[in-house]
């Protein structure tokens, strides 16, 4: 991390300006010319930036740019912030909306995929445009806040759907909104009786930590329970500034979680990830998810294999604090949602013994008890919850009753049957 006074572009900037998020916002790096004053770029790298900028935009906060090692082309901060020509390469399996979010949007800017919670996209702006953004179809095209009618429409949907008990406010980055505008949205959500919790997804603590002020945190704390999930990808992002932003939120009783994305050349290494999750706990942020990189267009150069993700999980579980270990998920292409992936810990299952292995490779037998698993049911009711347990969930639910197999649509073999 360099002092800004040592960077030609910001030589005369005062501490007051530098620590003011509005100054940071106004002075984001958006052109190649500014970029070359902050770090050394080879002619190929410059050509790459220019090529990428024909398709996607760039904005880097001066703060985040100051974390870049100016002479290291492989600096993990640089890779997340500075466009590369690779971003224009589009693979046949990539798409603008790999998670099919549009298909699960009952109203524009709201995704209702899971039974009891929704994703509410309240803005298309971010303070920095991450090179690996999965929502680049909407984010950072122009700096745009969702129009008030769209917010109102989303709120109306939530009001009318009493099953929604959890609203995930995201975007873009909701913390780029003014305190007043954000408060209007949060207050309206809090006024809906069935909304139990409000979550905010924001990268601001990582890329523009100055934005997290006492005033912002005090405003959010009025509407508890509020949770904030942020997005650290590398231990180098855990700076005194980021730590302070997280401390302000945590001191206001806001539980903090983190969602990382596996990115080739940035964090696809067990040691880097271990150091990241430990660093997060030190600043009171609980690791929540590690995402497999989505099949969004132009991200092939960032993608890692699932085997590498599993290797990372193997290196975390048991080797460090249990609650430092996030859940590794692949967000299923086509809108299937998040699917957790784990190394295999069960080696075999016998009639009364399950053989498991631990993180060190020690193999153990767990002896299972013998009892009638239906004993919890009494006169058709569960003794624990009082329900009838009719209709199991998930795959078992699909195979309930007389159904014994699931066959994909258009199966050729079955079509030959008489
Ligand atoms: C990730 C996500 C959520 C929240 O999922 P959790 O597992 O509850 O954190 C909700 N809606 C959509 C569309 C999502 O992608
Ligand atoms: S902060 Fe999030 S939404 Fe914004 S560019 Fe980065 S990854 Fe995309």
> Looking at residue 135, what is its pLDDT?
85
Residue 356 lies in a domain: no
Distance from residue 204's CA to the centre of ligand 2 (Å): 9
> Looking at residue 175, what is its pLDDT?
98
Residue 50 lies in a domain: yes
Residue 292 lies in a domain: yes
Into how many domains does the chain fold? Answer: 3
* Active-site hit among 264, 338, 357, 359: 338
Distance from residue 250's CA to the centre of ligand 1 (Å): 22
Q: Is 51 helix (H, G, I), strand (E, B) or coil?
A: helix
pLDDT surpassing 90 at residue 111: yes
C-alpha distance across the termini of the chain, in Å:
71
pLDDT surpassing 80 at residue 81: yes
Q: Are residues 254 and 401 in the same domain?
A: no
> Looking at residue 142, what is its pLDDT?
67
Let me know if 376 is a catalytic residue: no
Instruction: Find the CATH number of the domain harbouring 285.
Output: 3.20.20.70
Domain boundary among 73, 100, 132: 73
Question: By percentage, how much of the chain surpasses pLDDT 90?
Answer: 82
Residue 229 lies in a domain: yes
Report yes or no: 13 and 65 within 8 Å, Cβ to Cβ. no
* Active-site hit among 28, 84, 117, 203: 117
Q: Are residues 37 and 182 in the same domain?
A: no
Q: Are residues 173 and 57 in the same domain?
A: no
Per-residue pLDDT band for 119 (boundaries 50, 70, 90) equals very high
Which mutation among 107, 112, 114 tests ligand 1's pocket best, with the greatest number of atoms within 8 A of CB? 114
Q: Relative to the alpha carbon of 263, which ligand is closest?
A: 2
- Tell me if 168 CB under 6 Å of ligand 1: yes
Taking residues 227-234, report their average pLDDT.
98
Domain boundary among 22, 48, 73: 73
Q: What is the mean pLDDT of the chain?
A: 94
Q: Are residues 19 and 115 in the same domain?
A: no
> Looking at residue 399, what is its pLDDT?
83
Let me know if 117 is a catalytic residue: yes
Report yes or no: 391 and 400 within 8 Å, Cβ to Cβ. yes
Taking residues 71-95, report their average pLDDT.
94
Which mutation among 99, 168, 230 tests ligand 1's pocket best, with the greatest number of atoms within 8 A of CB? 168
Predicted confidence (pLDDT) per residue in 331-390, tens digit: 998 888 999 999 999 999 998 999 999 999 999 999 999 999 889 999 999 999 999 887
> Looking at residue 143, what is its pLDDT?
67
Q: Are residues 222 and 314 in the same domain?
A: yes
Residue 349 lies in a domain: no
Q: What span, in angstroms and rounded, lies between the C-alpha atoms of 124 and 146? A: 7
Q: Are residues 144 and 262 in the same domain?
A: yes
Q: Are residues 336 and 377 in the same domain?
A: no
pLDDT surpassing 90 at residue 407: no
Q: Are residues 182 and 301 in the same domain?
A: yes
> Looking at residue 370, what is its pLDDT?
92
Distance from residue 239's CA to the centre of ligand 1 (Å): 28
Joined tokens for residue 248:
């302000």
Considering only CA atoms, which residue is closest to atom 7 of ligand 1? 338
Distance from residue 399's CA to the centre of ligand 2 (Å): 39
> Looking at residue 99, what is its pLDDT?
86
Distance from residue 413's CA to the centre of ligand 2 (Å): 45
More confident residue, 210 or 394: 210
Show the ligand 2 pocket: residues with CB < 6 angstroms. Answer: 126, 129-130, 133, 135, 139-140, 172-173, 203
Q: Are residues 164 and 23 in the same domain?
A: no
Considering only CA atoms, which residue is closest to atom 1 of ligand 2? 203
* Active-site hit among 113, 131, 136, 199: 113
Taking residues 294-322, report their average pLDDT.
97
Predicted confidence (pLDDT) per residue in 275-294, tens digit: 999 999 999 999 999 999 99
Q: Are residues 121 and 182 in the same domain?
A: yes
For β-strands 346-349 and 337-340, DSSP reports them as unpaired
pLDDT surpassing 90 at residue 162: yes
Q: Are residues 43 and 124 in the same domain?
A: no
Q: Among the residues of 82-213, which ranges form H helices?
A: 148-160, 179-190, 204-207
C-alpha closest to that of 133 among 71, 207, 239: 207
pTM over 0.85: yes
Residue 351 lies in a domain: no
Residue 98 lies in a domain: no
- Tell me if 245 CB under 6 Å of ligand 1: no
Taking residues 177-203, report their average pLDDT.
98
Taking residues 239-261, report their average pLDDT.
98
pLDDT surpassing 80 at residue 139: no
Domain boundary among 320, 340, 360: 340
Cβ atoms within 10 Å, residue 10: 20
247 φ, ψ to 5°? -65, -40
Nearest-atom index, ligand 2, CA of 135: 8
- Tell me if 338 CB under 6 Å of ligand 1: yes
Q: Is 113 helix (H, G, I), strand (E, B) or coil?
A: strand
Strand segments, DSSP code E, in 108-242 are 110-114, 117-121, 166-170, 197-201, 226-230
Nearest-atom index, ligand 1, CA of 111: 13
Let me know if 113 is a catalytic residue: yes
Q: Are residues 50 and 117 in the same domain?
A: no
Q: Relative to the alpha carbon of 174, which ligand is closest?
A: 2
pLDDT surpassing 90 at residue 136: no
Report yes or no: 56 and 298 within 8 Å, Cβ to Cβ. yes
Q: Which domain holds residue 261?
A: 110-340
Residue 219 lies in a domain: yes
């Amino acid at each position: 991390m360099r002092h800004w006074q040592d960077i030609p572009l910001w030589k005369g900037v005062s501490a007051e300006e530098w620590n003011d998020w509005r100054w940071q916002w106004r002075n984001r790096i958006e052109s190649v010319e500014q970029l070359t004053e902050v770090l050394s770029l080879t002619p190929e790298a410059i050509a790459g930036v220019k090529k990428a900028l024909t398709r996607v935009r760039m904005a880097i906060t001066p703060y985040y740019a100051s974390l870049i090692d100016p002479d290291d082309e492989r600096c993990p901060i640089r890779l997340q912030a500075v466009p590369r020509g690779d971003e224009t390469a589009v693979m046949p399996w990539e798409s603008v909306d790999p998670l099919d979010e549009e298909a699960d949007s009952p109203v524009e800017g709201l995704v209702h995929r899971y039974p009891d919670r929704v994703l509410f996209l309240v803005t298309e702006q971010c303070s920095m445009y991450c090179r690996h953004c999965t929502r680049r179809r909407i984010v950072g095209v122009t700096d745009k806040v969702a129009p008030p009618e769209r917010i109102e429409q989303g709120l109306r949907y939530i009001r009318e759907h009493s099953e929604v008990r959890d609203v995930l406010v995201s975007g873009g980055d909701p913390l780029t909104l003014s305190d007043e505008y954000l408060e209007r949205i949060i207050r309206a959500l809090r006024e809906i009786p069935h909304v139990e919790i409000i979550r905010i997804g924001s990268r601001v603590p990582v890329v523009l930590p100055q934005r997290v002020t006492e005033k912002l945190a005090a405003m959010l704390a009025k509407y508890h329970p509020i949770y904030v999930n942020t997005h650290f990808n590398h231990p180098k992002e855990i700076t005194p500034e980021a730590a302070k932003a997280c401390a302000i939120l945590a001191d206001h009783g806001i539980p903090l979680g983190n969602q990382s994305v596996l990115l080739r050349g940035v964090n696809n290494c067990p040691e880097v990830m271990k150091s990241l999750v430990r660093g997060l706990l030190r600043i009171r942020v609980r690791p929540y998810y590690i995402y497999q990189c989505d099949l969004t267009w132009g991200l092939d150069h960032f993608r890692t294999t699932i085997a590498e993700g599993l290797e990372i999980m193997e290196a975390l579980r048991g080797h460090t604090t249990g609650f430092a270990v996030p859940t590794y998920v692949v967000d299923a292409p086509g809108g299937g949602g998040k699917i957790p992936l784990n190394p295999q810990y069960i080696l075999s299952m016998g009639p009364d013994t399950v053989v498991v292995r631990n993180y060190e490779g020690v193999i153990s037998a767990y002896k299972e008890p013998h009892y009638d698993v239906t004993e919890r049911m009494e006169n058709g009711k569960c003794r624990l919850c009082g329900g009838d347990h009719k209709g199991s969930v998930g795959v078992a639910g699909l195979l309930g009753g007389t159904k014994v197999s699931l066959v994909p649509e258009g199966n050729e073999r079955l079509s030959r049957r008489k």
